[in-house]
Structure 1
Amino acid sequence: MKRNIVIATLTAAALATGGTVAAFAAGHDDATATQRQANTSVRSAAEAIAATLRHTPGTALSAGLDDDGADAWEVTVVKGDGTEYDVRVAPDSGKVLGAQRDTDDDKDAEDRAELAAVKGAHTDAREAALAAAAKGTVTEVGLDDDNGTVAWSVDTAKDGKHSEWKVALDSGKVTQDRDDDGDKA
């Protein structure tokens, strides 16, 4: 019964934010608990981006769990005029904790190319996080320019293992990231 309530709650929350969520009611309770935990965390990444864009409209360029122990998502947004904002979002509630304009004006050619690529993209940062959700708990999503090809780079954690994924800007297709030697990153 409790599992059905959790599944219904997750599904309703995902639909309310325009997202999707996978919930598995069959199988061993430990396995379904792990699946729910991963989906709840990934959904939080997507919700952090959605909350940020409601607070600070623009284009999300990245989102990641704060690594300084402050327990918050940091989302970078660029507005139409090119100004960037760093927004902090509580991972449990989706509440915006604060927003600060990024005054770093050293936009290089790579930054401009990434911004141009994402403006014409069919897949945004939130959709990239949701697409990679099947691979594990999303801990970070951002743009990556690899030899002139811009894609979303998504870091996940699953069973203590960290993996990196590329999500195509045009199709949303998820592939495992490979280093220069062809090994999994």
Structure 2
Amino acid sequence: MKRNIVIATLTAAALATGGTVAAFAAGDDETAAQRQSSSGTQVVVDHDDRDDANDADDRADDVNDVNDDVEDRTTVATGDVSAAEAIAAALKSVPGTAVSADLDDQDDNGKVVWGVDVLGDGNTWHSVTIDPATGKVLGSHTEREDDTAQVRAALKGASVTAAQAAEAAAAKGTVTSVDLDDDGASQAWDVETRGSTSQADQDWQVDLNSGKVTADRSDGDED
């Protein structure tokens, strides 16, 4: 920087002559601290370089955040294991009916995984974790919940499974989640898809009996 060269020149001149020279750095966005040297020369400490380094670190952090997001989306777009395949792997591991499958952002180890919920006998729920690259079961745990009647009522007589709903919606994009909507008037499978790194996620409903895919109007999406 020119300002640093001027300060260095003035300081050298002061040391050569034994006199005292004051050097000042000016700027609306700068802060400077002065210290007295042993020769009596006032030297301005310019923090611009340190501020520039901090700004560079901030920019690097922003780039890393973007890269992490792209990496997550790339994993979804190019992964070998689809939602339907993750459900199939979970059902091989535990008995029951798959009620949801979600591509979780991270597990405890910071890895993107499929999380599949399976309704078992009675009030038993199985949560199964699937590797999206290999389809390997990474782990599972079982819980018991009293409120399963509504879910069972929605599934009773349904001819379209969660895996079939995922396959039907796959024509709209890469499926990232499938969930049973047992609350609404028109009960269906709620499916979320992702088109590419530049496209927003979209929500769809898959009819429990016909398998017809329609846009989820509650989110303002269009088919």
Scaled by the length of structure 1, the TM-score of the pair is: 0.70
2:174 to 129, 134, 137: 137
Q: Deviations over 1:127-179 (max 9, x none)?
A: 00000000000000011135332100000001322100000001100000011
Q: Where does residue 83 of structure 1 map in the other structure? A: 124
2:88 to 33, 42, 50: 50
Q: Where does residue 112 of structure 2 map in the other structure? A: 71
CA distance in 2 between partners of 1:42 and 1:163 (Å): 21
Q: Where does residue 55 of structure 2 map in the other structure? A: none
Q: Which stretches of structure 1, 4 residues or longer, exceed 4 Å deviation after superposition?
A: 40-43
- The one-letter amino acid paired with 1:175 is T
Identity rate, percent = 49
Contact kept, 8 Å, 1:49 with 1:75, in 2: the verdict is yes
Shift of 1:43: 5.4
CA distance in 1 between partners of 2:143 and 2:201 (Å): 29
Q: Deviations over 1:52-95 (max 9, x none)?
A: 00110210000001123421100000113231010001111111
> CA 1:147/1:47 → structure 2, altered by over 3 Å: closer, same or farther?
closer
CA distance in 2 between partners of 1:166 and 1:122 (Å): 15
Contact kept, 8 Å, 2:158 with 2:209, in 1: the verdict is yes
Structure showing greater radius of gyration is 2
Q: Where does residue 149 of structure 1 map in the other structure? A: 186
Contact kept, 8 Å, 2:176 with 2:192, in 1: the verdict is yes
Shift of 1:45: 1.0
Shift of 1:120: 1.7
Shift of 1:115: 2.2
CA distance in 1 between partners of 2:213 and 2:79 (Å): 19
How many residue pairs get aligned? The number is 142
Q: Where does residue 58 of structure 2 map in the other structure? A: none
Q: Where does residue 95 of structure 1 map in the other structure? A: 136
Q: Where does residue 170 of structure 1 map in the other structure? A: 209
CA distance in 1 between partners of 2:182 and 2:83 (Å): 22
Shift of 1:112: 2.3
Greater relative contact order (Cα < 8 A, sep 6+) = 1
Q: Deviations over 1:5-43 (max 9, x none)?
A: xxxxxxxxxxxxxxxxxxxxxxxxxxxxxxxx85x6595
> CA 1:153/1:41 → structure 2, altered by over 3 Å: closer, same or farther?
farther
Do structure 1's residue 115 and structure 2's residue 152 form an aligned pair?
yes
Q: Where does residue 22 of structure 1 map in the other structure? A: none
CA distance in 1 between partners of 2:210 and 2:79 (Å): 24
